[in-house]
Structure 1
Amino acid sequence: MNHPQRQTDRKREAIVQAAIDEFRLNGFEATSMDKIAATAAVSKRTVYNHFASKEELFGAILLQLWHSAATQDALTYTPESSLQTQLESYLRKKMTMLSDHNFLDLSRVAVAATIHSPDRARDIVEKLSKNEQSIVTWIKSAQQDGKLRPEDPLLMADMLQGQLKSIAFWPQVAMGQPVLTTTQQEVLVRTTASMFLGYYAVAQ
């Protein structure tokens, strides 16, 4: 009874995988919906039934990789647990995503695709930003609990994640540096959490 739905899901998965391969191989501009359809062995109409445009398909891929690499919604403020422990747990999930080769490859494609298209860049950033809300909510909860200074939670979240990305994302995307080793990742996670709390934590 669920066979039609499963077939639809399989076609969608085939389209997404084909698009990932094509974007990685040819870049955003040179990849067409026709080529994606051919690689996925489906009709062009089927591709458009799932995704209204190439931009929508590309954004969906980035979001899928984001979700598969790290479950951002799992972050919940726990009053009885130390802020350091909670932040390190969150940052390790972020590191999982930032170490995913598919995500890094497609991020390079995204950067190249958005350099000459501010509207496209804004759309992608807005889509990904929606998945950053859990850390902002966590910061607000910690502030209400008197554990963090009452400053702009959005800026605080950007500062926290910026420290991680400046070492474990942008050098890999922009300069082709290797992904951090497990040991390097752990040092970065602990240092980032400690620096954030060193400035924003309220002395108890």
Structure 2
Amino acid sequence: MNAPIKLTDRKREAIVDAAIAAFRGSGFESTSMDKIAATAGVSKRTVYNHFPSKEALFAHILQQLWCSTSSLEDTPYDSTLPLREQLLQLLWKKMEMLKDAYFLDLARVAIAETIHSPARAHEMVARLSTKEEGLTRWLRAAQADGRLRAADPVLAAHLLQGQLKTFAFWPQVTLNQPPLDAATQVTVLETTVDMFLAYYGTPGGAA
């Protein structure tokens, strides 16, 4: 039997949900702690008891977003499976996240904040970047197994994911284009993986 959720935890969850809705609807600068408190149905003092500032609350939301993305990508390397098959599975999970409306809305807020307050955004990104992505760990393991050539795994991960974002993230975030249709998703995924393995793969290593 699951333990009942404490009142303080319910309030914290309500605050976060209210902040997400406010940030998505109005952006960072136009969202006040008063508005968040009213939407959450708690006092402003309660909001500050959980989060000392609006910046801390926004950073917490981005941290949640980062963790959900990282957990989707955190698939262990398997030396018995073809690299192409594993990479397609990894990137499909990334594609699923990139087409999520909730993710895209928060990404727009984060990018807008980067433009309006580079120093604050730099601090947030630095905090998020302390955790290594699952894809980077996977690439490192494949390199150690001799199936990918020795190279900076962080750079390789950025290059690999950057191909997806070119088609399935930036047009949607900056131009409000719709998510890719199913056929285009498959084409982008397969082309990305094949190009990556053509450069980083070792002879016989992809099998």
Shift of 1:130: 4.2
CA distance in 1, matches of 2:183, 2:127: 31
- For 1:179, the aligned partner's letter is P
Give yes or no for contact 1:24–1:109 (8 Å, CA) kept in 2. yes
Q: Which residue of 2 aligns with 1:25?
A: 25
Read off the aligned partner of 1:140 and give its amino acid letter.
Answer: R
Post-superposition CA distance 1:87-119 (Å, at most 9, x none): 111111111111110111111111111103222
Q: Name the structure where helix makes up a greater proportion of residues.
A: 1
User: Is the 8 Å Cα contact of residues 98 and 169 (structure 1) preserved in structure 2?
Assistant: yes
In structure 1, distance between residues paired with 2:68 and 2:134: 16
**Map 1:33-182 → 2, pairs under 5 A:** 33-68=33-68, 71-72=71-72, 74-130=74-130, 132-182=132-182
Read off the aligned partner of 2:177 and give its amino acid letter.
Answer: Q
Return the letter of the residue paired with 1:62. L
Question: Residue 116 of structure 2: SS of its match in structure 1?
Answer: coil
CA RMSD of aligned residues (A): 2.0
Whole-Å separation in 2 of the counterparts to 1:198 and 1:177: 30
CA 1:164–1:28: 2 relative to 1, 3 Å:
same
How far residue 70 of structure 1 moved from its aligned partner, in angstroms, is 6.5
1:23-72 CA-to-partner distances (Å, cap 9, x unmatched) read 12211001011110111001112212222221221122233244446723
Offset from partner CA, 1:130-175 (integer Å, 9 cap, x none): 4552111111111111101111111111101111111111111111
Q: State which drifts further: 120-129 or 41-50.
A: 120-129
Q: Secondary structure at the match of 2:42?
A: coil
Q: Report the 3-state secondary structure (helix = DSSP H, G, I; strand = E; otherwise coil) of the residue aligned with 2:136.
A: helix
Of 76-85 and 52-61, deviating more is 52-61
Matched residue pairs, number?
203
- 1:18 Cα deviation from its structure 2 partner: 0.7
TM-score (norm 2): 0.89
Please give the alpha-carbon distance, in whole angstroms, between the structure 1 residues aligned to 2:187 and 2:70. 19
Q: Is the 8 A contact 1:77 1:141 kept in 2?
A: yes
The TM-score with structure 1 as length reference comes to 0.90
Task: Give the Cα–Cα distance (whole angstroms) in 2 for the partners of residues 141 and 167 of structure 1.
Answer: 28
Question: Structure 2: where are the runs of 5+ without partners?
Answer: none
